[in-house]
Structure 1
Amino acid sequence: MEMIYDDVNSANNKSSRCMGNQVTSSKRTKVLLIVLGVSLVLALGGLCVLGFMYISVSVKLSAQQTNGTTMARELEELTANYTNYREKFDALHNQHEETLRKLNRLNRMSSDLSLVQTSTGCALCAVNWIYSGGKCYYFSTVKMNWTQSRDHCVSRGGHLVIINSQAEQDFLSSKVKVTHWIGLNDLDTEGHWVWVNNQPLNDSAEFWMKREDGVSEPDNWTEGHPAGEDCASLGHPGGDTEIWMDAFCFQEKRFVCEAAAAV
């Protein structure tokens, strides 16, 4: 009996040890499962975090691309606006420069006018023109042929001088030291002298050079040119400025322009 009891106790001890081993294994499995579950949860959480991060990065990249496209579009618009405003600015600048040029021309025209006091009031002559007897006179500093001189006087608002009196002749001769063209010619009809206003020469107001041998001006000298001398000049090439002479119209001389004075 005692042996049987020992056997039973031994069996019970073995059974208890097996059950203890089973309990320990079961606990370990549960712990492992819990650890695996926690790991899965953590892994899932990590995946979720990574997913959110991926979505966030994707959104940011998309936003950056959108912003980049928007910025590029805005840059193009700014460039177009700049070009447009630049063109407008250049147009306004050119208009401003042209306006300044016009203003300067007007200022020069205004400054070119000078008042000359006369016995009857104030007469208006352009600068470099000289007032006398109700007229303004311009004495050139350059030489031209007769036709060019006539046209130049017209471009200045006058005409080659027309001499109608001894007083006018004396005034002009006192102002020149060399020969000058005047507005007298016989280009159309030889010997028929007319002024540039088509008025014929008045015999009571003519100042041709007189010679002692009787050969006086105009003599239509043809030596050197068969067409002869068809244009009149104030003064002799030798220096006498108180007389008229006929001359070749193609010769270059200084000239006198005349214009009415504004009062």
Structure 2
Amino acid sequence: MARLLFDYRSAYFLITLILVYSFAVGWDNNAHLKLPSLVEDYGHFFFIGLIAAIIANSTGAGGGIVFFPAFVTLGLTTQQALATSLAIQCFGMTAGSLGWLRVRRLEASGYHIQWRWLWRVLAIALPANLAGLWLAQWALPAPAFSVHVFFSVFSLIVGFAVLLRRQADQQHGRWQALSTNECYWLLVMCFIGGIVTAWLSIGIGEILAVVLIFLGFRTNMAIAAAVMISAITVICAVPYHVWISGAVVVEVLMFAAPGAVIGGTLASVLAVKLGASRLKTAMALWIIISALIYLAISI
């Protein structure tokens, strides 16, 4: 099984390289001739992708919080920053998902109760999340109020709440099934998360991770679910920006995507080494920091 998983990850890395190269060739047939100047102008995006993916996939909070303000600061428009952030996360969050599946396999015997809920939670959360995502992309313009400020305030509240609960004993996770009310709550929060992700390129991962932790699920499982639903969400969100908005900046994607793949691969290893309490502390601090960053660029 380990060998098979390794083969899947190796195949994914190869597919990533092929896709990034195809984007580059489709964008400019002479891209390889311009490589030295492209490295000089855009090479730093590799490190932005690396750092963002490590943080995003080890906390479940989303890499867009690094990409979006960084890209706007470096001269991209808001639409370009949104579209390019989603495109990069397709690679980084997928790599992170494969890493968390490896953690699930390694922990399955010792924490069977924790991990048996993973697919059920995703089956409940994903349809509502995608409904919110596509509704926002195709039917809902940016609202009159500042989504950035709203999401920042919300993130500060949940970040401090998680920080206060970080010592809760969830070593083996909950054993009982989700109640009907809990399922409704999960559906509503994921629907909102899908809408927010369409507007900001982050939201669903952070929201799902926090909801699952507050419902009593073990931290590793909560973050794994958050990373996996984020991966599916950004993959489903990108076609709109590739074929409709046309706002993906290929030069940035060429360098940030490989960095995001490496960061996503390393993230689950880092998260497991931190342990549950430290991981919840790291996630809470990252949510708070990300909220303050969004608040600063929105005021």
Tell me which interval the TM-score lies in, with the shorter structure as reference length.
under 0.3
Taking structure 2 as the reference length, what is the TM-score of the superposition?
Answer: 0.20
Flag the structure with larger Rg: 1
By percentage of residues, which structure has more helix? 2
By percentage of residues, which structure has more strand? 1
